Amino acid sequence: MNRDRLIAENLGLVHACANRFRGKGVEYDDLFSAGCLGLVKAADGFRAELGFAFSTYAVPAILGEIKRLFRDGGSVKISRALKERARTAARVRDEMTASLGREPRLCELAEKMGVSEYEMTELLGLSQPTVSLTAADEDGERQMDIPVESGEDEIQNALALREVLETLPEADRKLIELRYFQGLTQVKTAEALGLSQVQVSRRERGILLEMRKRLTG
């Protein structure tokens, strides 16, 4: 899949991760911008041939960047040039809002700026003010860093699952891949394998039981 398309179609992952930390002392736009950076890194390093779902690979990367945001004091470090582009994006949004009489859609803004929808989302996020976790509040107190899950367990579980799958007989592995990686129903899986739905159901239960035993030791 095209890199930009992979990023654009998975921005929902960034929102899902960022939403977990709303109200924790960092503006949502900062959380989202940090998560977008993680998404880009995941897209650059993703290898579809390994058989993992992109979300399994991307979520830890997104959470890792959000964790770094908290650790670094709650602000995203951006270059002067990027700040200028972010200000331009904000100005274009305001101008289009005035001319259209409504808030422009992301695709309209991206086309106007000549960038991808992902880049437009990032620019708009960067144009928002940030809040530092280490700044003193009204009472003169300083906020504490917030621990964030690294997501490493998800990667480890996915690797273990793939290892177990590779030990299965080819027919059993094909059945599991059709059912759980391609999302086919038992009826469609049965048609693909030349079996009945009942045979698929019984075989699937047996395979899953065996896989569970191997995964849990």
* 105-141 confidence digits (pLDDT tens): 878 888 888 887 767 776 766 655 444 444 444 555 4
CA pair distance 6, 13, nearest whole angstrom: 11
Q: Where are the domains of the chain?
A: 3-126, 168-216
Q: CB of 121 within 8 A of CB of 11?
A: yes
pLDDT at 129 (0 to 100): 47
pLDDT at 44 (0 to 100): 81
- Kindly report the CATH class assigned to 168-216: mainly alpha
**Picking from 13-17, 137-141, 154-158, which range would have the lowest pLDDT averaged per residue?**
137-141
Q: Mean pLDDT across the chain, nearest whole number?
A: 76
Q: Which of 178, 216, 167, 170 is nearest to 200 (CA)?
A: 178
CA pair distance 144, 66, nearest whole angstrom: 15
Q: Which residue has the higher pLDDT, 52 or 28?
A: 28
Q: Give Cα 50 to chain centroid, integer Å.
A: 18
pLDDT at 160 (0 to 100): 67
Q: Which residue has the higher pLDDT, 70 or 179?
A: 179
Report the percent of the chain where pLDDT is more than 70. 73
Q: Which class for 110: exposed (0-12), middle (13-18), buried (19 or more C-beta within 10 A)?
A: buried
**Picking from 15-29, 132-146, 157-171, 175-189, which range would have the lowest pLDDT averaged per residue?**
132-146
CA pair distance 56, 205, nearest whole angstrom: 24
